[in-house]
Amino acid sequence: MANPISRQELTRAVELAIAGDWDASHKIVQADEADATSCWIHAVLHKIEGDIGNSRYWYRRAGQSYEAYPDAPTELAAIKAVLTY
């Protein structure tokens, strides 16, 4: 079993996503598909990619709503705020 993902790693994934490095962010969140925050970031990444079906799958896994935020940058900022509070 893999080690759980750290808040620091999740924060890095969000920062990479904000910077436009989708692939690097995606690699981080794929490392722990059981963590709800990791799943949430994963969902936003697929929303950015335009893969709505996959995005909705990860939103369900995260316990979050696809429609909750007006856009991906706003949502990523909210996730970062949760992680760094």
Residue 30 counted as domain residue: yes
Domain with 41, as residue range(s), is: 7-84
Contacts 24+ apart (CB under 8 A), 74-77: 75/44, 75/47, 76/14, 76/17, 76/18, 76/41, 76/44, 77/18
pLDDT at 4: 87
Number of domains in the chain: 1
Residue 2 counted as domain residue: no
- Look up the CATH number of the domain holding residue 55: 1.25.40
Both tokens of residue 59?
């939103």
Q: Is the pLDDT of residue 2 over 70?
A: no
Q: Is the pLDDT of residue 9 over 50?
A: yes
Residue 1 counted as domain residue: no
Query: What confidence category does residue 3 fall into, taking pLDDT thresholds of 50, 70 and 90?
Result: confident
Task: List alpha helices for the chain, DSSP H.
Answer: 7-18, 22-30, 36-49, 52-62, 72-84
Query: What confidence category does residue 1 fall into, taking pLDDT thresholds of 50, 70 and 90?
Result: very low
| C-beta of residue 14 within 8 angstroms of C-beta of residue 83 | yes
